[in-house]
Amino acid sequence: MNFPEDLKYTEEHEWVLVEGDVVAIGITDFAQDQLGDVVFVELPEVGDTVEAGSTFGVVESVKAVSDVYAPVSGEVVEINEELPDEPEVLNTSPYEDGWMIKVKLADLSSLDDLMDVKAYQEFVEKD
């Protein structure tokens, strides 16, 4: 299981890469492993507003359909245009090529609510 140290994590198994006041968001290696082969991804539109804790997208696999939750609030400034056509990228490269959306943060302090890599690893091990 891969847990990059430079990311922040949520209890819903999303990851966040901070790039100034913009963050990239995706699902973790643990999440994609639990889901199995991803066959469909639904993303919001650029310009949409996401609210921390609310659903921003859907990932469908051969096993289940899962909502994806926004770890932060802000405006969607970019979406990964490849994912709807190549949803399997979430399985093969969840952290690099499998990012889902980029969000301009409404409040930088919302990052304080996210877990660091050590806390996330401990959380996953309890599951």
Backbone φ and ψ of 3, nearest 5°:
-130, 85
SS3 of the chain: helix, strand, coil, percent, to 5: 20, 35, 45
Q: pTM value? A: 0.95
For residue range 10-23, list pLDDT tens digits in order: 999 999 999 999 99
Residue 64 is predicted with a pLDDT of 92
Backbone φ and ψ of 44, nearest 5°:
-75, 180
Within-domain flag for 75:
yes
Q: Which domain holds residue 38?
A: 8-108
Within-domain flag for 125:
no
- Provide the pLDDT confidence category of residue 80 given band limits of 50, 70 and 90: very high
Mind spelling out the 3-state secondary structure of 71-113? CCCEEEEEECCCCCCCCCHHHHCCCCCCCCEEEEECCHHHHHH
Within-domain flag for 2:
no
Within-domain flag for 127:
no
Within-domain flag for 58:
yes
Residue 27's CATH number: 2.40.50.100
